[in-house]
Amino acid sequence: MKTRTVIAANIALLMLAAAALPAAGETSTYSARSGSKMRIEGTANILHPTWQIEGTIIGGKLEVGPGFPTEPGQAATPGKVEATANVFIPVRSLKSVESDGKPYSDRMDEVTYEHLKEAQFKQISYKLTELTLKEVPKSKDAPYVFDSTGDLTVAGTTKKISMPVNILPVADAQGKKLEITGNVTVKMTDFNVAIVDINLVVGHIKTGDDVKLIFKWVVGQRKAAAAAAK
Amino acid sequence: MNEYESNALGYNRRDFLKGGSVATLMTMLGGVELFAQTNAALAGQTKAPTIKIKVAVIGLGAWGRELISNLSRMPQAEIPIDAEIAAICDTYPASLKRAGGTVPGAAQTPDYKTILDNKDIKAVFIATPTPNHKEVALAALKVGKHVYCEAPLAGSIEDAREIALAAKAAKHLAFQVGLQMRSDKQRLFLLPFIRTGQLGKMVLARAQWHKKTSWRAASPNPEREKALNWRLSKATSLGLVGEVGLHAIDQAGWYMNALPTAVTGFGSINLWKDDRDVPDTVQAVLEFPGDVRMIYDATLANSFDGEYEMLYGSDAAVMMRESKAWMFKEVDAPLQGWEVYAAKLKVFNDTGIALVAGASKAPPVDEKGQPILPDPMTTTPLFYALNNFLLNAAELTKAADDYKAAYGEDDVDGLMEALGKKRQDQARQRPAAGYLEGFHTAVTAVKGNEAVLTGKRIELKPEWYELK
- Nearest CB neighbour to A32, from listed B406, B410, B418: B406
Return d(Cα B460, Cα B465) in angstroms, integer: 8
How high is the pLDDT of residue B194? 92
Quick check: A31 and B414 CB within 8 A?
Answer: no
**A150-179 per-position pLDDT tens digit:** 999 999 999 999 999 999 998 777 788 999
- C-alpha neighbours within 13 Å on the C-beta side of residue B438: 34
Whether residue B137 lies inside any domain: the answer is yes
Q: Which of the residues B392, B402, B411, B413 would you substitute to probe the A interface, choosing the one with the greatest number of A C-beta atoms within 10 Å?
A: B402
Partners of residue A47 in chain B, C-beta under 8 Å: none
- Nearest CB neighbour to A92, from listed B398, B407, B411: B398
Return d(Cα B233, Cα B155) in angstroms, integer: 12
Whether residue B90 lies inside any domain: the answer is yes
Quick check: B427 and A223 CB within 8 A?
Answer: no
Residues of the domain holding A185: 25-229
Quick check: A59 and B37 CB within 8 A?
Answer: no
Quick check: A202 and B410 CB within 8 A?
Answer: no
Q: Give the closest-approach CA distance of B368 to chain A in angstroms.
A: 20
Partners of residue B414 in chain A, C-beta under 8 Å: 33-34
- Identify the contact set of chain A against chain B, taking CB-CB distances under 8 A: 31-34, 36, 56-60, 88, 90, 92-93, 95, 102-103, 105-107, 119, 200-202, 222-223
> Per-residue pLDDT averaged across B328-342, rounded?
82
Task: Judge whether B224 and B231 are in contact, CB under 8 Å.
Answer: no
**B373-388 per-position pLDDT tens digit:** 667 777 889 999 999 9
Whether residue A133 lies inside any domain: the answer is yes
How high is the pLDDT of residue B259? 98
Partners of residue B427 in chain A, C-beta under 8 Å: 102-103
pLDDT confidence bin for A49, thresholds 50/70/90 = confident
Whether residue B198 lies inside any domain: the answer is no
Name which residue leads in pLDDT, B180 or A23: B180
**B384-406 per-position pLDDT tens digit:** 999 999 999 998 898 889 999 99
How high is the pLDDT of residue B383? 95
How long, in residues, is chain A? 230
Give chain B's domain count. 1
> Per-residue pLDDT averaged across A34-47, rounded?
87
Quick check: B38 and A107 CB within 8 A?
Answer: yes
Residues of the domain holding B134: 51-182+381-435
Whether residue A214 lies inside any domain: the answer is yes
Average pLDDT value over all residues in chain A: 84
Quick check: A202 and B402 CB within 8 A?
Answer: no
| DSSP for chain A, written as a single string | -HHHHHHHHHHHHHHHHHHHSPPTT--EEEEE-S--EEEEEEEESTTSSEEEEEE---EEEEEE-TT---STT----SEEE-EEEEEEEEGGG-EEE-TTS-B--HHHHHHHHHHTTTTT--EEEEEEEEEEEEE--SSTTSPEEEEEEEEEEETTEEEEEEEEEEEEEE--TTS-EEEEEEEEEEEGGGGTPPPPEEEETTEEEEEEEEEEEEEEEEEE--HHHHHHH-
pLDDT confidence bin for B364, thresholds 50/70/90 = low
Whether residue B132 lies inside any domain: the answer is yes
Whether residue B176 lies inside any domain: the answer is yes
Residue pairs between chains A and B whose CB atoms are closer than 8 Å:
56
H/E element holding B15?
helix B13-19
Burial of B60 (0-12, 13-18, 19+ CB in 10 A): buried
**B407-437 per-position pLDDT tens digit:** 888 878 888 888 877 776 655 688 999 999 9
How high is the pLDDT of residue A128? 96
Quick check: B425 and A103 CB within 8 A?
Answer: yes
How high is the pLDDT of residue B120? 95
Whether residue A7 lies inside any domain: the answer is no
Quick check: A105 and B34 CB within 8 A?
Answer: yes
Helical packing angle, B34-44 and A106-115, nearest 10°: 40
Q: Give the closest-approach CA distance of A185 to chain B in angstroms.
A: 24
Whether residue B4 lies inside any domain: the answer is no
How high is the pLDDT of residue A106? 78
Q: Give the closest-approach CA distance of A25 to chain B in angstroms.
A: 27
Whether residue A6 lies inside any domain: the answer is no
Give chain A's domain count. 1
- Nearest CB neighbour to B407, from listed A34, A200, A223: A34
**B228-247 per-position pLDDT tens digit:** 999 999 999 999 999 999 99
Q: Give the closest-approach CA distance of B403 to chain A in angstroms.
A: 7
Q: Give the closest-approach CA distance of A143 to chain B in angstroms.
A: 23
Quick check: B38 and A58 CB within 8 A?
Answer: no
**B101-158 per-position pLDDT tens digit:** 999 999 999 999 999 999 999 999 999 999 999 999 999 999 999 999 999 999 999 9
**A74-116 per-position pLDDT tens digit:** 888 999 999 999 999 999 999 988 877 777 877 788 888 999 9
Question: Is the model's pLDDT at B22 over the cut of 60?
Answer: no
> Per-residue pLDDT averaged across B172-181, rounded?
95
How high is the pLDDT of residue B371? 66
Whether residue B124 lies inside any domain: the answer is yes
Name which residue leads in pLDDT, B386 or B17: B386
Quick check: A33 and B402 CB within 8 A?
Answer: no
Helical packing angle, B157-169 and B133-142, nearest 10°: 10
Question: Is the model's pLDDT at B82 over the cut of 80?
Answer: yes
Which amino acid type is present at position B57? V
**B-chain residue closest to A31, CA distance:** B407
Q: What angle do CA B227, B230, B236 make, to 5 degrees?
A: 115
How long, in residues, is chain B? 468
What's the CATH number where A80 sits? Answer: 2.40.128.110
How high is the pLDDT of residue A17? 46
**B-chain residue closest to A108, CA distance:** B38
Question: Is the model's pLDDT at A224 over the cut of 50?
Answer: yes
Whether residue A20 lies inside any domain: the answer is no
How high is the pLDDT of residue A162? 96
Quick check: A59 and B405 CB within 8 A?
Answer: yes
pLDDT confidence bin for B46, thresholds 50/70/90 = very low
**A204-221 per-position pLDDT tens digit:** 778 889 999 999 999 998
Which amino acid type is present at position A165? V
**B192-226 per-position pLDDT tens digit:** 889 999 999 999 999 999 999 999 988 888 888 98
> How much of chain B exceeds pLDDT 90, in percent?
63
Q: Give the closest-approach CA distance of B32 to chain A in angstroms.
A: 8
Question: Is the model's pLDDT at B32 over the cut of 50?
Answer: no
This model of the complex carries an ipTM of 0.77
How high is the pLDDT of residue A103? 79
**B49-69 per-position pLDDT tens digit:** 578 999 999 999 999 999 999
What's the CATH number where B68 sits? Answer: 3.40.50.720
Whether residue A120 lies inside any domain: the answer is yes
> How much of chain A exceeds pLDDT 70, in percent?
83
Task: Judge whether B303 and B285 are in contact, CB under 8 Å.
Answer: no
Average pLDDT value over all residues in chain B: 85
Cis ω for the linkage preceding B152 (within 30 of 0): yes
Name which residue leads in pLDDT, B31 or B311: B311
